[in-house]
Amino acid sequence: NTSQEEVLKQIRDLKKQVDAIILAHNYQLPQVQKVADFVGDSFELCKTAREVDSSVIIFCGVHFMAEGAKVLAPEKQVIIPDNNAGCPLADMASPEQVREIKKEFPETPVVAYVNTSAEVKAESHICCTSSNAVDVVNSLDSDSVIFLPDQNLADYVSKYTDKQVIPWNGYCISHVRVSTEEIEETRKYYPEAPILVHPECPHEIKETADYIMGTGGMVKFARETEHSTMIIGTEEGLVHRLKRENPAKNFYLLSPSFFCSNMKKITPQEVLHSLKNLAPEIEVAEETRVKAYQALNNMLRATQ
Ligand code: 13P
């Protein structure tokens, strides 16, 4: 029955003792974001994992994110406080399936969204995140690309490239439940407020919204805009960060369906537990890691 304050204090002390840094994704619980040293989008987390010099990374996010950190920073111990925090979208592409499609299109590069396992990244030419998917695709010297696993991000990319985008059939269960009726209703209540949606949302949602951007883009937009009220169309955890950073502005979630239970699995108590035990630790077979590293590194190089 340790109090919240006591948990926070123990986390701060232990972090120093074991030379750890706590990274958290924008969708994490507010109390987890509070204990983190760095909170960011998928791309910022990749870069930060590689740049920090602590020997331990406590990664508060879903499994593929922590795995990506391990791929980029193999010399560090990467710990995920809850090993069950998965990503259904990442599970929609297996390495066997990628090998099959490569046989069908042997000349076509595979662009893997970071929401994939290390094994799938290892079968891919280059990775991307929502913030750089268009630039990554356009950086490739090929008339077509295989884009996986998110069909809605593929649809978004195809609007901004002349290349043929061969999509996969994956989707994020937390971003596809929103309806155009919810957009219409929200507009009635807040006619002046821009509606920002994540590119993982379905086509008709993106067509009806005002802006399409990843979570990092939304953080920047909220900071810089003159608007005092915004409607947020992505996982609800981001709204906590936006409110914290912009206390004079109002943020409303476009739909209660923007909720990812996997992103809510990690708690401060679990962070403390993982700091005490330095477990569960992320392991990636070296052969897979080296290939997955190439794909992630190609992304970092293409978007410098
Ligand atoms: P961002 O790259 O926008 O943070 O998105 C992460 C994600 O997994 C969306 O579902």
Mapping DSSP onto H, E and C, the string for the chain reads CCCHHHHHHHHHHHHHHHCEEEEEECCCCHHHHHHCCEEECHHHHHHHHHHCCCCEEEEECCHHHHHHHHHHCCCCEEECCCCCCCCCCHHHCCHHHHHHHHHHCCCCCEEEECCCCHHHHHCCCEEECCCCHHHHHHHCCCCEEEEECEHHHHHHHHHCCCCEEEECCECCCCCCCCCHHHHHHHHHHCCCCCEEECCCCCHHHHHHCCEECCHHHHHHHHHHCCCCEEEEECCCHHHHHHHHHCCCCEEEECCCCCCCHHHHCCCHHHHHHHHHHCCCECCCCHHHHHHHHHHHHHHHHHCC
Q: For the chain, what are the domain ranges? A: 4-85+263-283, 90-171+287-302, 180-259
> What ipTM describes this predicted complex?
0.96
Query: Are the C-beta atoms of 30 and 267 separated by less than 8 Å?
Result: no
CATH number for the domain running over 90-171+287-302:
3.40.50.10800
**Atom 6 of ligand 1, residue of closest alpha carbon:** 42
180-259 CATH choice from 1.10.287.130, 3.40.50.10800, 3.30.365.10, 3.30.413.10: 3.40.50.10800
55 — phi, psi (to 5°)? -85, -15
Does ligand 1 lie within 6 Å of residue 130's CB atom?
Answer: yes
Does ligand 1 lie within 6 Å of residue 115's CB atom?
Answer: yes
Does ligand 1 lie within 6 Å of residue 129's CB atom?
Answer: yes
**Atom 7 of ligand 1, residue of closest alpha carbon:** 42
Could you tell me the sign of the dihedral formed by the alpha carbons of 255, 31, 279, 285, in that order?
positive
Q: How far is the CA of 108 from the centre of ligand 1 (A)?
A: 25
Q: How far is the CA of 92 from the centre of ligand 1 (A)?
A: 16
Does ligand 1 lie within 6 Å of residue 42's CB atom?
Answer: yes
Q: Please, what's the b/e burial string for 155-170 (b: 16 or more CB within 10 A of its CB; e: otherwise)? A: bbbbeebebebbbbeb
Q: What is the pLDDT along the chain (304 residues), one digit of tens a residue?
A: 678 899 999 999 999 999 999 999 999 999 999 999 999 999 999 999 999 999 999 999 999 999 999 999 999 999 999 999 999 999 999 999 999 999 999 999 999 999 999 999 999 999 999 999 999 999 999 999 999 999 999 999 999 999 999 999 999 999 999 999 999 999 999 999 999 999 999 999 999 999 999 999 999 999 999 999 999 999 999 999 999 999 999 999 999 999 999 999 999 999 999 999 999 999 999 999 999 999 999 999 999 7
4-85+263-283 CATH choice from 3.30.230.10, 3.40.50.10800, 3.40.190.290, 3.40.50.620: 3.40.50.10800
**Atom 4 of ligand 1, residue of closest alpha carbon:** 41
Tell me if 4-85+263-283 shares its fold with 180-259: yes
